[in-house]
Amino acid sequence: MALFLFGALVVWTQPQPVEEEPEQLPVVYDTPAEPQVPLYMQTDERWGGLPYAGADLATSGCGLTCAAMAWERLSGETCTPPMLLNLVGNDYVQDGQNYMPGFCEWMAQQDPKLDYTVLYEDRSRALEESAAGRLVFGTMESALHEDGREYGGHVVLITENLYGHITIHDPCEAYPVALDYDEFNAVAWDYFISIGRG
């Protein structure tokens, strides 16, 4: 009997397990990210040899490649240079040159919420447009940056102007080009045209 009482006392004095409530996990909702501006190269071996503007995309496709990058960002749908070439052909080539107002007009026809500017030469305006979230096509000569490739005439896409840093997608460079204001102003720009919403 003493053994029974001792056993009962031991059981009675042992801490009883407490049922823990399951931890409440926070609910996380996925929200779609803003479409990003892709960086396509006109010289990409998958499409660089396609006929365009009396030559091929690798040689003459800077404007079309920039337009493909812009349209992918603005539409939210994939649009590689050959996809855009299939859609527009050589419709926006004038005298062998890419005609960026034509590409902008085509984009605005596809999406009436888009608007674009006339051609302008004001570098400050190009920076303001970019800072406001619009995409800016820029035509230029010479080099885009120190030790960069020399161009007789070239189209690039200004994708961002944030905290004094300008990001440019050059369809002949594998990585985005980052310039500060002084470097941007040192480029031999010809003209700009901007496109976006609002």
> For residue 196, what pLDDT is reported?
98
Distance of CA 42 to the CA centre of its chain: 16
The verdict on residue 145 lying in a domain is: yes
> For residue 23, what pLDDT is reported?
78
Q: What angle do CA 86, 88, 93 make, to 5 degrees?
A: 125
Tally of domains within the chain: 1
Query: Can you give the CATH number for the domain in which 87 is found?
Result: 3.90.70.10
The verdict on residue 41 lying in a domain is: no
Q: Which residues of the chain have pLDDT under 50?
A: 3
Domain of 182 in residue numbering reads as 51-197
CB environment 37-61: b (16+ within 10 A), e (fewer): bebbbbbbeebbebebbeebbbebb
Q: CB neighbours (10 Å) of residue 137? A: 27
* Cα–Cα distance measured from residue 161 to residue 180, given in angstroms and rounded to the nearest whole number: 9
The verdict on residue 185 lying in a domain is: yes
pTM of the model: 0.84
The verdict on residue 38 lying in a domain is: no
The verdict on residue 10 lying in a domain is: no
The verdict on residue 28 lying in a domain is: no
> For residue 31, what pLDDT is reported?
73
The verdict on residue 97 lying in a domain is: yes
The verdict on residue 130 lying in a domain is: yes
